[in-house]
Homo-oligomer: A and B are copies of this chain.
Amino acid sequence: MVEDYVPTGIPGVDKILVGKGIPRGNTILVSGGPGSGKTTFAIQFLYTGATQHDEAGVYVTLDEDPGDIKKNMLKYGWDLKKLEEEKKLVFINISPVRVAPSESAGLIQIGMKEFRLIKLLEAIRQGVKEVNAKRVIVDPLTIFTLQYPDEIERIYAMRDLMRDLKKTGCTNLLISELRGTGIEREHQFEEYLAQGVILLRTFLKSSRLVRVFQVTKMRGLAIDNQPRPYEISANGIEVYPGATVYK
């Protein structure tokens, strides 16, 4: 059996993933604070897949307007509308909104009361089928997990989500919102369930805040788990695998 990997195409990241990428079919948690570039990271993963590896992508958004995402990503020179037209990318908006039916043309929109795991899974499967996708994003996971105040139910729902994502054969990023800042923090239960964990944080180094990328877990890969600086520039996210963060 030959192991298969999915290159992220994000500068520096694949080198940290031992020159390979994410093991194909795995579901990775990408967790960061506000303004850390989580959405940029996710879109960069899909865009590279679509334009360099001929792998179509599905972007499931739970709280942002796909129109805003497409507009914001133009500053990196990523024309997502074109990818949509080429059937290399599909946006699925399942954020619970109060919209008139006419407003939701082209989007799968469900009401607040109807938000359930089963609908999320159906939407994902449909999107994957539509463009024969190989990569899936769910952003943000937080809206999903908040639906389950009971911890054990939350874990089961998350497991079901991961199981269904696995059946699609796609490689998936679940985008999650970090609450605490600083080096010491609580591990979230999602970090145990996901097959990989990527953190996007901010540390103080020599009187400057530095953006810090870290892979703390990647099943099936002996990864570099050291924190590494990253930047968000006009080309998107770039990670510096050889640089150190702690003095």
Contacts and interface: CB of A to CB of B under 8 A. Distances in A.
B140 A98 contact: no
A85 interface: no
A231 to B, nearest CB: 9
Number of copies: 6
A187 B181 contact: yes
A217 B96 contact: no
B208 A246 contact: yes
Contact of A184 (B160, B181, B218): B181
Nearest to A160: B98
A227 B246 contact: no
Contacts of A178: 187
A34 B197 contact: yes
Interface residues of A, number: 67
A186 B179 contact: yes
B197 A35 contact: yes
Given A159-B95, A180-B186, A187-B181, A244 B63 contact: no
Contacts of A233: 222
A192 B142 contact: yes
Interface string A187-204: 101011111010000101
Interface of A: 1, 3, 33-35, 63, 68, 71-72, 74-75, 95-98, 112, 140, 142-143, 146-147, 151-152, 155-156, 159-160, 163, 177-187, 189, 191-195, 197, 202, 204, 207-209, 211, 216-220, 222, 225-227, 232-234, 244, 246-247
